[in-house]
A and B are shown apart, each in its own frame.
Chain A
Amino acid sequence: MNIRELQDKANLIREDIIKMLVAAGSGHSAGPLGMADIFTALYFGGVLEYRADEPWWRERDRLVLSAGHIVPVLYPVLAHAGFFPIEEIYTLRKINSRLQGHPHAKSVPGIENTSGPLGQGTSVAVGMALALKMDFKAGRLPRLPRVICVDSDGEMQEGQTWESFMFAAKNHLDNLTYVIDRNHIQIDGYTEEIMPLEPLVEKLESFGLQVFEVDGHNMQAILDAFNHDASVHRKPVAIVANTTPGKGVKYMENKYEWHGKPPSEPGEAVEALTDIHALRTLGGKIVSEHE
């Protein structure tokens, strides 16, 4: 897919996010909308190696979602990538569904880990990166799979996250990339008011990570960050992605109140879909920041 096609795909994912959240009646809106571009780049921009028809292929790259609450972005992406039927997204959070409110490892093809309590995926990702490296070194894997771990910025307030960073840096896990969704909001308010994270980049660097800061809505910049060959640094990578929470839905953008709830009134849902639809139909005319 070219950049324009990827942008359009991301907005299609945004539509699905709104529709599935409205159907579910609960769930997180802002984070999933803000991360739609990055997940689109990962699955449709050639970043991750995967086989939807052989989801547990041993050599696959692993996407570990540590910020489990933004799983409404991952489900439609996996469905569009062919892991399961797209209609299933409307079962999110409902009884007898495979799509749990927070990810449950292997509940559906493509879900690699269980998360929700923040910080846990960061360690799971480290364990995967280490085990895969051990097997690659021992000649048991023909290629070294990448592990990409998606975190929220509020998650940086959990101590376990930093435990995992220390281990990854000490052990030169250069097949591991953390993506930190820097959208500045958490449930109770703005991160810098609740528990300041800045200077975040410097903190991550001081823990031994190779840090890149990108505009999380600039498709080309996202791809460039992921495609950077980290092995030259012999360090794990952290991509701090500056995103707009609620991206695409005007009344949600940058409002922490939309962290943890879906559009509830019919008017809200229609307005959200109208906003995103406008983005999509104008897709051919909008020139991206990069171009």
Chain B
Amino acid sequence: MQLAKDIFSDKVEKVAPRDGYGKGLVAAGRKNENVVVLCCDLTESTRSQWFKEAFPDRFIEVGVAEQNMAGMAVGMALSGKIPFCSSYAVFNPGRNWDQIRVSVCYTNANVKIAGAHAGISVGPDGATHQALEDIAITRVLPNMTVVVPCDSIEAEKATVALAVHDGPAYIRFGREKLPVITTKKTPFELGRAEVFREGKGVTIVACGAMVYEALIAAQEVDGEVINCHTIKPLDVEAMVASAKKTGRVVTAEEHQVNGGLGGAVAEALTDAGVAVPIKRVGMQDSFGESGDPEELLKKYKMKAENIVEAVRNFSVGRGILDLVGKMPKITIPKGKTVDDLIHEATGEIAVRRNVGKNIPGMKPGR
């Protein structure tokens, strides 16, 4: 995969992904005069300012009214415009989810929602401003596309691509500067996950800022890193192929593990009948707090070291059962348990908590 050079050196270039969004808006605006940008009193910090300067007649200041912004965008889309709605992710899609559900998605209107300052790394503002549920609440909506770019260049490509894509979409990015790991030549296609690093030890599926952390972690655990920038529609084929190859999966996101990327990958692999152990790195069902971004990412375990730790903590070895059409018949010999069989097959000892009591032939973990 064609990535930037020396991304692990101290001198790696760092740019905020919102800069990519701002550049992408201007590029999309140049290509199509129907592109318009709406913003709720956050023009500079969402980088909508750059579009405003380039196309003042196509920039719309809505004031602090995110619900009105989403509804207006629908009216504009139904009149032939391609509106991008910019605000912080906690407000957009947080504050205006009902409008996004009914007016945007049910109508299948060509509206783009941009959630800036997402994740815990927004830092000192505290939990009210740390969007950690936005992927979940957008991913669940029919007709919606959900994109989480890994750096500024990818954010720019994604923004331009979404202006061409006909239908509702959500793009999310954080405030902090991130190492630029892709180049203009790195392939980008909506709905297509890219293997950024090949490996055999474990599949690490990551999005956004966690892609860089995944690349660092992968070096220690022979990880295969998948940049899953499009969370919906998910590139199931890429997930299944890598999961079958490595036999275990770690997901990494700056978001609640419930309902986010981790949830999406777990659902997809389950539906595909690929039984592999999965660990999800991200917010573990809690709110954040004020603090320095780096301190918070460490405290809430969303760093490379936490991905490594997750890999080392796999307790049941590699899952290698492809259940679709190939369910092997397992007969448990008398006097043995499922745990014994796993131990014989993998050399590892299964640790199961609170399970097994009701399953014949299985005894609670050690």
Number of A-B contacts (CB under 8 A): 105
Cβ-based interface call for A46 (8 A): no
User: A105-B107, A134-B57 known; A123 and B71 CB under 8 Å?
Assistant: yes
Cβ-based interface call for B89 (8 A): no
Cβ-based interface call for A16 (8 A): no
Within the complex, the shortest CB–CB distance from A49 to chain B, in Å, comes to 15
**A120-150 at interface with B (beta carbon < 8 Å):** 120-132, 134-135
A116 touches B71 (CB 8 A): no
For A116, A119, A123, A127, the residue with the greatest tally of chain B CB atoms inside 10 Å of its CB is A127
User: A130-B76, A134-B57, A135-B79 known; A123 and B68 CB under 8 Å?
Assistant: yes
A123 touches B70 (CB 8 A): yes
Closest A residue by C-beta to B57:
A134
Which residues does chain B contribute within 8 Å of A112, judged by CB atoms? 78
A114 touches B75 (CB 8 A): no
Dominant secondary structure of chain A at its interface with chain B: helix
Which residues does chain A contribute within 8 Å of B107, judged by CB atoms? 104-106, 113-114
Which residues does chain B contribute within 8 Å of A120, judged by CB atoms? 71, 98-99, 102-103
Contact of B65 among A104, A127, A166 (CB under 8 A): A166
A127 touches B79 (CB 8 A): yes
Which residues does chain B contribute within 8 Å of A64, judged by CB atoms? 75
Which residues does chain B contribute within 8 Å of A132, judged by CB atoms? 79
Residues of B in contact with A, size category: 20 to 34
Rounded to whole angstroms, the CA-CA distance of A261 and B188 in the bound complex is 53
Dominant secondary structure of chain B at its interface with chain A: helix
**B301-333 at interface with A (beta carbon < 8 Å):** none
A131 touches B98 (CB 8 A): no
B68 touches A163 (CB 8 A): yes
Binary per-residue interface labels of chain B (37-64) against chain A in the complex, 1 for a CB within 8 Å, 0 otherwise:
0000000000000000000011010110
Residues of B within 8 A of A (CB): 36, 57-58, 60, 62-63, 65, 67-81, 83, 98-99, 102-103, 106-107, 109
B75 touches A125 (CB 8 A): yes
Contact of A160 among B67, B74, B79 (CB under 8 A): B67
Within the complex, the shortest CB–CB distance from A231 to chain B, in Å, comes to 19
Cβ-based interface call for A177 (8 A): no
Closest B residue by C-beta to A66:
B71
B78 touches A123 (CB 8 A): no
**A82-99 at interface with B (beta carbon < 8 Å):** none
* 27 residue pairs A–B, Cβ–Cβ below 8 Å: A104-B107, A105-B107, A106-B107, A112-B78, A113-B74, A113-B107, A114-B103, A114-B107, A115-B102, A115-B103, A117-B102, A119-B71, A120-B71, A120-B98, A120-B103, A123-B99, A127-B71, A127-B73, A129-B75, A131-B80, A134-B58, A160-B67, A163-B65, A163-B68, A164-B72, A166-B63, A167-B65
B106 touches A124 (CB 8 A): no
Closest B residue by C-beta to A159:
B67
Contact of A122 among B36, B71, B76, B109 (CB under 8 A): B71
Rounded to whole angstroms, the CA-CA distance of A131 and B75 in the bound complex is 8
Which residues does chain A contribute within 8 Å of B80, judged by CB atoms? 58, 131, 135
Which residues does chain B contribute within 8 Å of A128, judged by CB atoms? 75-76, 78-79
Closest A residue by C-beta to B71:
A123
**A194-230 at interface with B (beta carbon < 8 Å):** none
Within the complex, the shortest CB–CB distance from A215 to chain B, in Å, comes to 30
Rounded to whole angstroms, the CA-CA distance of A92 and B293 in the bound complex is 54
Which residues does chain B contribute within 8 Å of A124, judged by CB atoms? 71-72, 74-75, 78, 103
Within the complex, the shortest CB–CB distance from A271 to chain B, in Å, comes to 36
Closest B residue by C-beta to A119:
B67
Closest A residue by C-beta to B64:
A163
Within the complex, the shortest CB–CB distance from B168 to chain A, in Å, comes to 12
A114 touches B106 (CB 8 A): yes
**A62-91 at interface with B (beta carbon < 8 Å):** 64
Closest A residue by C-beta to B69:
A123
Closest A residue by C-beta to B58:
A134
Rounded to whole angstroms, the CA-CA distance of A53 and B334 in the bound complex is 76
Rounded to whole angstroms, the CA-CA distance of A247 and B65 in the bound complex is 36
Which residues does chain A contribute within 8 Å of B103, judged by CB atoms? 113-115, 120, 123-124
Which residues does chain A contribute within 8 Å of B63, judged by CB atoms? 163, 166-167
For A117, A120, A125, A130, the residue with the greatest tally of chain B CB atoms inside 10 Å of its CB is A120
B76 touches A131 (CB 8 A): yes
Which residues does chain A contribute within 8 Å of B75, judged by CB atoms? 64, 113, 123-131
